[in-house]
Amino acid sequence: MSPEQPILPKDAAAAEGKVNVQINGTWYRFPKGTRIADACNSVGVHVPCFCYHPKLSVAGSCRMCLVEQGMPPRLAPGATPTYNEDGYQTIQWMPRAVVACANTVAENMGIRTNGTVCTQARRAVLEFLLTNHPLDCPICDQAGECKLQEYTADYGSPTHRFTEAKIKKGKHIEIGPRVNLDQERCVLCRRCVRFMKEVVGEEVLGVVGRGGHNAIACYPGKTLDSNYSMNVVDICPVGAMTSRDFRFRMRVWFLKSTPTIDVNCGTGTNIYVWSREQQVYRITPRQNDEVNSCWMPDSHRLNYRYINSGKRLLTPLVKTDAEAPQRAAAWEPIIKAAAEQLRLCDPGQLAFIVSARLTNEELFLAGELAQLLGVKALDIVPRRGESDGMLISADRNPNSTGAQIVLHKNGGTLDNIRRGIKIGKIRSLVVLGEDVTAEAAITAEQLAALDYLLVIDHTENATTQAADVVLPGVTFAEKYGTMVNVTGRIQRLNRAIDPLGEAKADWEILAALLRECCGDLPGAAAHATSAQEVLDVMAAQIEELNGVSWASIGNQGQQIIDTGVSIPLIDREKANK
């Protein structure tokens, strides 16, 4: 071989641990072992899949991902391969299609998804899948986000040759407390069976019967009652598994999905909030391989009703006299009055109880306010539970790590504040986003005995009822902000709906109070016009947040510190790779 012989593409690719694959006429390089389906999808060539899910084992049963495949011809004994001017061997196309999910790419492989072989295969698979399908799309909850509907529109046949009677199977079976099963709509991809077996480890679902009578079922006496059961609704490509919470409530195409994070525990599961106008209808998990994979617990998913509950605080409330009932007030005078009252308080007799359910920006502004007033007594309310060994963290506050970074508080001095209130040393209290009569164990009588109680919260509770001034904040779905999860990953909250009524985002209220309190003093954070600007101020002041910006966090979050805490489910997933 002469030295100026050009390097063949196969050798160049092999040096990188990759292989050359021709997809619809264009050559690409993929790492060895990439599944054909993943390879095609990564370069924008869509391969439809029902049964294949990247987080589950490969079943290869739906046959929807059939593609035309070719390899270089097998050489005669003693022959050497020949290469064309581009350095590739000719591809000999196979007469029959192969499944793209169960096969991996190989050197000089050819894939075609736009030829007759592939088109016919997809059309035939869909025709078989639709033989016994009830075609009840008008009343099906999955309509609009159904893979069967989508693929039939994309690749299906306009006519139907099946004229026989359809096989009847079980419908609206309450297979679990939160999930309903429709066996007729099922395409038997078995994603739900594999999810329950492989991810949850409870093999409650199975396939019974044979041929056209095949159906998903659970054994009598067992139910799909795992706290992760509703994930089968998400992974079900059709309307066979439906959420009993969401079914028949809203057509999905009217809903807007907002990427944000869950605030029920320290994991900070990535989610979508699905809303229409000012109403939240459902929450689904959003993939983040460092936080929650593709899943989320049912208990967190269903905890959204409080956003639109009738108990929401919609206007500022003020108590003019100790015995008088609270009455609605306008924002401007009440902020002025509250700031004045706070300035009048003896800083030694004033305490702040803030929530680790607030965003970093809000905690930061609360800290600034306390500092400005000279208040030392400030802490969060710790909220500990038990980890479920999957995604639910033992820390039930979503932003304890953030409170540690921003305020250097972890609930350790809450006892002192509680004692101060008890013995009457603390006469005034500012409560942000907590019902202190619950976890903080301060009694309603103690609250009533205070000189001044200012509360910022979104929902009416025993603490807001006892308050002299209530400033209506918002829930996580109505504001922007950032939180740091238990592993030390900063993540973004996005606004899905506008603040209800006259409520304002908590950071806005705190910034307004801060502006009123500091008078003419220039304070960068107080004058911020958005949560993002508060973050920029924090990024400049707090070491851990140096270099962090709204854009750098992105939708997948950014690891800022290593807390040494990990998420069990993610650990397992990484170990199995």
50 contacts 70 by C-beta, under 8 angstroms: no
Q: Does 133 bind other proteins (CB under 8 A)?
A: no
Amino acid at 157: S
Q: Does 221 bind other proteins (CB under 8 A)?
A: yes
Q: Is 443 exposed, middle or buried (0-12, 13-18, 19+ CB in 10 A)?
A: middle
Selected from 23, 179, 218, 377, the binder of other proteins by CB under 8 A is 218
Using CB under 8 A as the binding rule, the residues of this chain from 466 to 525 that contact other proteins are none
Q: Which range in 47-55, 122-130, 217-225, 512-520 contacts other proteins by CB under 8 A?
A: 217-225
> Is 233 or 365 the residue whose CB approaches other proteins more closely?
233
Q: Does 208 bind other proteins (CB under 8 A)?
A: yes
Selected from 36, 45, 130, 175, the binder of other proteins by CB under 8 A is 175
CA distance 388 to 264: 13
CA distance 8 to 17: 14
Residue 194 C-beta: closest distance to other proteins, Å? 13
Amino acid at 537: V
> Is 173 or 302 the residue whose CB approaches other proteins more closely?
173
CA angle, residues 200, 206, 207, in degrees to nearest 5: 150
> Is 161 or 210 the residue whose CB approaches other proteins more closely?
210
Q: Does 177 bind other proteins (CB under 8 A)?
A: no
From residue 520, how far is each of 343, 382, 517, 523, 548 by CA, in Å?
Answer: 14, 36, 9, 9, 29
505 contacts 471 by C-beta, under 8 angstroms: no
Query: Of 544, 484, 547, which Cα lies nearest the Cα of 291?
Result: 484
Selected from 138, 220, 519, 522, the binder of other proteins by CB under 8 A is 220
Q: Which range in 114-122, 165-173, 264-272, 273-281 contacts other proteins by CB under 8 A?
A: 165-173
Q: Does 205 bind other proteins (CB under 8 A)?
A: yes
Q: Which range in 214-222, 291-299, 369-377, 445-453 contacts other proteins by CB under 8 A?
A: 214-222
Angle at which helix 531-541 crosses helix 506-518, to 10 degrees, equals 70
Q: Does 172 bind other proteins (CB under 8 A)?
A: yes
Q: Coil, strand or helix: which one is 296?
A: coil
352 contacts 421 by C-beta, under 8 angstroms: no
Q: Does 168 bind other proteins (CB under 8 A)?
A: yes
Amino acid at 419: R
Residue 226 C-beta: closest distance to other proteins, Å? 14
Residue 225 C-beta: closest distance to other proteins, Å? 14
Residue 167 C-beta: closest distance to other proteins, Å? 10
Q: Which range in 60-68, 215-223, 402-410, 531-539 contacts other proteins by CB under 8 A?
A: 215-223
CA angle, residues 336, 342, 345, in degrees to nearest 5: 145
Q: Which range in 5-13, 64-72, 171-179, 337-345 contacts other proteins by CB under 8 A?
A: 171-179
Query: Of 357, 376, 354, 349, which Cα lies nearest the Cα of 365?
Result: 354
Q: Does 171 bind other proteins (CB under 8 A)?
A: yes
Q: Does 319 bind other proteins (CB under 8 A)?
A: no
Q: Does 207 bind other proteins (CB under 8 A)?
A: yes
Selected from 37, 204, 350, 511, the binder of other proteins by CB under 8 A is 204
From residue 515, how far is each of 46, 344, 353 by CA, in Å?
Answer: 53, 16, 20
Q: Which residues pair with 26 in a beta bridge?
A: 23
CA distance 107 to 88: 10
Q: Does 219 bind other proteins (CB under 8 A)?
A: yes
DSSP 112-147: ESSSHHHHHHHHHHHHHHHHS----GGG-TTTTS-H
Q: Does 210 bind other proteins (CB under 8 A)?
A: yes
> Is 3 or 220 the residue whose CB approaches other proteins more closely?
220
Q: Does 135 bind other proteins (CB under 8 A)?
A: no
CA distance 201 to 177: 18
| Dihedral sign from CA coordinates of 457, 459, 465, 469 | positive
Selected from 127, 145, 150, 203, the binder of other proteins by CB under 8 A is 203
Selected from 217, 280, 375, 525, the binder of other proteins by CB under 8 A is 217
Q: Does 183 bind other proteins (CB under 8 A)?
A: yes
* Site residues (vs other proteins, CB under 8 A): 168-175, 183, 203-210, 215, 217-222
